[in-house]
Amino acid sequence: MSCVFCEIAQKQIPATIEWEDEEYIAIRDINPQAPVHILIMPKQHFRNVEEAESSVVGRLIEIAQRLARERGLDRGYRIVINTGPEGGQTIYHLHIHLLGGRPFGWPPG
């Protein structure tokens, strides 16, 4: 099964890489919804948050916190995990969105 985020993680297709280590990678969203819009994901394929261990999800949030600090998002930011069709998930490789640099409304659309 081909997966665009697996291909990005394996450097088979290009992306703007914001940060990476052996197991995780953070890339700029191709269609950014805010001045900072970074996708953070494990290099290993998990379909979504339903499939991943909580330690993996915890690590994603830790990376988001660090990137938010490094990007100077001291006035706040939003972390989003779209899950399943009603959750608005379009790419079925676990990722979290780190959004910042502008105010966000609530409730979401």
Interacting residue ranges for ligand 5GP, rule: CB under 6 A: 4, 15, 27-31, 39, 82, 88-91
Rounded to 5°, angle at Cα 80 from 60 and 2: 70
**Residue 43 binding result from ligand 5GP, Zn ion, none, given CB thresholds of 5 to 8 Å by partner type:** none
> Is position 52 an interface residue for Zn ion (rule: CB under 5 A)?
no
Question: Contacting Zn ion (CB under 5 A), which of 37, 78, 93, 95?
Answer: 93
Q: Is 67 helix (H, G, I), strand (E, B) or coil?
A: helix
Residue 91 binds: one of Zn ion, ligand 5GP, none (C-beta under 5 to 8 A by kind): ligand 5GP
Binding part of the chain for Zn ion, among 55-63, 72-80, 89-97, 98-106 by CB under 5 A, reads 89-97
Buried b (16+ CB within 10 A) or exposed e, 45-77: ebebbeebeeebbebbeebbeebbeebebeeeb
Active site residue 93: no
Instruction: Choose among Zn ion, ligand 5GP, none what residue 65 binds, the Cβ cut-off being 5 to 8 Å by kind.
Output: none
Residue 60 CB partners (closer than 8 Å, separation 6+):
24, 40, 41, 42, 94, 95, 96
Task: Please give the residue ranges that form the binding site for Zn ion (CB under 5 A).
Answer: 3, 5-6, 45, 93
Residues with catalytic function: 95
